[in-house]
Amino acid sequence: MSKVVTMKEAIAEYIKDGQSILISAFSINQGYAFAHEIIRQKKKNLTLIRSSGDILADQMIGAGCVGKVISPYVWNPTGPSSAYCFRRAMEKGIPHKVELEEFSFGAFCMAIYAAAHGLPFMPTYPLEGTGIFQHRSILGEDKVRVIESPFSGEKVCLVKPLIPEVCLVHVQRADAEGNAQMWGPLGDVRGTANAGKRIIVSAEEIVDQAIILKEPYKTIVPGFRVAAVVHEPWGAHPSDVFEHYYRDIWFQAGYAEASKTVEGFQKFMDEWVYGVENRAEYLKKLGTKKQEELRWRGQDNGKFHSL
């Protein structure tokens, strides 16, 4: 059974105001096409769960879609630079206040792992004495609890399952049924893509099932867990996708510069999000020359040396 739909259809049908959503992934394979469509459809009061907040979270915060963020950090890695919309929200409540619950990356991984694996909680690494332990918002006392290990008597920090209502995952390829394949360094995504009650996949390529069956070890989400599949080439730009394209650091730097002011951010969004109908138009705007520059070149990555 084909689950292939357009991005517009997927977001309209499955993302509701006030939901908690996880958008992939740690630095790579970021679901920008998902985020931009959510912004265009003006979804509100979402709880955004991300292992790396990144520019994607910054844009959703700046666009006013997000009421709560659960993430280990939010930044722009190029420079590195501030995530300016995130800063404006946290420092001045612009465009509105956002509730933030911060985890260490390790504790985040354990909380989401507990969700994916049906566990009541997961132990994690020591956190007492840190700001992460001290400051609690969305999850309150349940953010981290401490017990005595029944085995050794040591103090152990525990986190409870962090269950997103919807997981939005961008992968290299999927079949029409939703068997989704991703490879290369995976961050937390293999362990956590299945944490959501519902999963939507976007893929660089939609392939015949025979191709999936030939290399099943690349599948990170089996089709039966997937509600909808979207074909979205370059769906992770400006982040990178293994064996497809490299990270667009120039675009990230341009975003940092533009987003320093509310007006600059608005102009950027008018140009790259509101001003395009869909990802295909975004790609046209990005241009074929830029796509060629960023396209994967196997073992030969040296061209960037001279850029």
* Site for another protein contains 302 (CB under 8 A): yes
Could you tell me which residues are beta bridge partners of residue 198? 166
Q: Which stretch binds another protein (CB under 8 A): 11-19, 86-94, 161-169, 285-293?
A: 86-94
CA dihedral over 43, 48, 51, 53, signed as positive or negative: positive
Residue 40 CB, shortest distance to another protein, in Å, is 27
Q: Which residue in 130, 208, 209, 213 binds another protein (CB under 8 A)?
A: 130
- Positions 38 through 57 that interact with another protein (CB under 8 A): 51-53
Torsion of CA 274, 276, 277, 282, to 10 degrees: -130
b or e along 28-46 (b: 16 or more beta carbons within 10 Å of the residue's beta carbon)? bbbbbbbbbbbbbeebeeb
**Token output for 251:** 């675009």
CA atoms within 13 A of residue 207's CA, in its CB half-sphere = 18
Q: CB of residue 130 vs another protein: minimum separation in angstroms?
A: 5
* Residue 146 touching another protein (CB under 8 A): yes
Amino acid letter, residue 144: V
Q: How far is the CB of 81 from another protein (least distance, A)?
A: 8
Residues within window 241-300 making contact with another protein, judged by CB under 8 A: 241-242, 246-247, 249-250, 252-253, 298-300
Q: How far is CA 287 from the centre of its chain?
A: 24
How does DSSP classify residue 84?
A: H
Cβ proximity to another protein, 288 vs 306, nearer residue: 306
Q: Determine the straight-line distance between the first and last CA of the chain, rounded to whole angstroms.
A: 46
Between 51 and 194, name the residue whose CB sits nearer to another protein: 51
140 lies in the binding site for another protein (CB under 8 A): no
Q: Rule CB under 8 A: which of 98-127 touch another protein?
A: 102-107, 109-110, 113, 125-127
Among candidates 97, 91, 24, which has minimal Cα distance to 56? 24
**Quick check: 155 binds another protein (CB under 8 A)?**
yes
Q: Cα(144)–Cα(20) distance, rounded to whole angstroms?
A: 19
Residue in 187, 196, 223, 233 binding another protein, rule: CB under 8 A:
187
Nearer to another protein, 20 or 192 (CB): 192
Does 144 bind another protein (CB under 8 A)? Our answer is no
Determine the length of the chain: 307
Please identify which residue in 185, 216, 275, 287 interacts with another protein, judged by CB under 8 A. Answer: 185
190 near another protein, rule: CB under 8 A: yes
